[in-house]
């Protein structure tokens, strides 16, 4: 257990490492985006959670979170277990220990295929008697040749540069502590207040784009042939005719799906050629350019705030950073590992 009030998990994808400061411990985080299923697994193991965030809502440090409600639209707790004056007195600071972490991935896939189809159907009938013999036959042929091709290209870029976080842990109210000691233990506390709290933000941005194109061409040939023969005594005659149709079809489609958290951009477009395809191409290029320059864009926007390291930040900065798209992830820590929570849940001689 750390001196700042954290019980440190032995292993975690996002763990508290005892080699630098968050209080006296640094939060060492892998750049992973958890799925809803992984949130439940991590919460069951009481590991820290890293949640991708968006600029449309500001969540202040110290806010409580119900991991059991992660599938709902509002998993945030309505009440707070912190002593208000203690929460206000804990400084929230900006730290940038690693100088920035970047990741860039791109991939391309292509597909080409062809198929042919042939259908042939014949019918006929014959009349045969002593003085007359006649026959009629017909044939239908259908040939289809089809070619298909498609391609997909994707780019994903991430950039993290420092964090904004609580420098210490606020004190819990007497009511919250009594809930732990006499009102049902940690489980009752978590059901009432939440099982995680927002310890801070990871600053940075994410950009991703998937561009796809597909084309289909087909050539259809149809032919009908009819033949009739008549023979009566010394008279005979035959007649035949045929008719063919040829038809060719071609279609193309273009699509782009993508996002840019720094600019709050979200795209999902699909068109079938024409002038609209030019707009899709322009949007795809725009997102690709943003992905290529993500690191510089994040650094330039962060520089506008002029955040001093390890100095208390004003409350208004939380909202400004969020609305600027710089809050890439929320860092959530489990309340069950807090020193005060563990002492009140295990020590029989507290009161």
Shortest CA distance to 49 belongs to which of 41, 58, 57? 41
Average pLDDT over every residue of 257-270: 91
CB-side exposure of 256: number of CA atoms within 13 Å? Answer: 22
Q: In whole angstroms, how far apart are CA 85 and each of 91, 143, 234? A: 12, 82, 121
Shortest CA distance to 337 belongs to which of 221, 173, 169? 169
For 331, the token pair is 């860092």
pLDDT in tens, 29-83: 333 445 566 788 888 888 999 999 999 999 999 999 999 998 888 999 999 999 9
**Rounded to 5 degrees, what angle do the CA atoms 31, 32, 34 make?**
150
pTM: 0.72
For 301, the token pair is 């926007």
**What is the pLDDT at residue 64?**
97
Residue 116 burial class via C-beta count within 10 angstroms: exposed 0-12, middle 13-18, buried 19 and up: exposed
Among the residue ranges 26-30, 194-198, 254-258, the one predicted with the least confidence is 26-30
* pLDDT over threshold 80, residue 182: yes
* pLDDT over threshold 50, residue 1: no
Instruction: Kindly give, in sequence order, each residue whose CB lies less than 8 Å from that of residue 260, ignoring residues fewer than 6 positions away.
Output: 205, 206, 207, 287, 290, 291
How many helices (H) and strands (E) are present in the chain, helices listed first?
8, 11
Q: At 333, is the secondary structure helix, strand, or coil?
A: strand
């Amino acid at each position: 257990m750390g001196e700042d009030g954290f019980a440190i998990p032995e292993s975690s994808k996002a763990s508290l490492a005892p080699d630098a400061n968050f209080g006296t411990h640094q939060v060492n985080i892998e750049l992973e985006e958890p799925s809803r299923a992984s949130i439940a697994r991590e919460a069951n193991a009481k590991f820290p959670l890293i949640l991708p965030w968006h600029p449309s809502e500001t969540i202040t440090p110290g806010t409580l979170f119900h991991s059991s409600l992660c599938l709902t639209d509002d998993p945030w707790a309505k009440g707070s277990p912190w002593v208000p004056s203690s929460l206000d007195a804990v400084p929230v600071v900006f730290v940038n220990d690693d100088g920035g972490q970047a990741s860039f991935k791109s991939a391309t896939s292509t597909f080409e295929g062809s198929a042919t189809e042939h259908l042939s159907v014949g019918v006929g009938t014959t009349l045969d008697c002593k003085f007359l013999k006649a026959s009629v036959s017909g044939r239908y042929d259908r040939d289809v040749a089809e070619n298909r091709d498609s391609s997909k290209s994707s780019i994903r870029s991430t950039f993290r540069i420092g964090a904004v976080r609580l420098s210490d842990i606020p004190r819990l109210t007497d009511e919250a502590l009594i809930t732990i000691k006499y009102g049902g233990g940690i489980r009752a506390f978590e059901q009432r207040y939440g099982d995680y709290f927002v310890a801070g933000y990871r600053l940075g941005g994410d950009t991703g784009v998937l561009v796809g194109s597909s084309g289909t061409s087909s050539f259809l040939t149809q032919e009908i042939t009819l033949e009739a023969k008549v023979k009566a005594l010394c008279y005979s005659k035959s007649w035949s005719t045929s008719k063919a149709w040829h038809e060719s079809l071609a279609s193309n489609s273009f699509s782009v799906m993508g996002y840019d958290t720094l600019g709050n951009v979200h795209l999902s477009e699909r068109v079938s050629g024409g002038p609209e395809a030019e707009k899709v191409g322009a949007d795809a290029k725009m997102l690709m350019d943003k992905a290529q320059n993500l690191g510089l864009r994040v650094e330039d926007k962060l520089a506008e705030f002029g955040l001093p390291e390890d100095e208390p930040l004003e409350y208004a900065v939380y909202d400004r950073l969020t609305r600027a798209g710089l809050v890439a992830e929320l860092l959530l820590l489990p309340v069950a590992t807090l020193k005060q929570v563990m002492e009140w849940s295990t020590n029989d001689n507290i009161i």
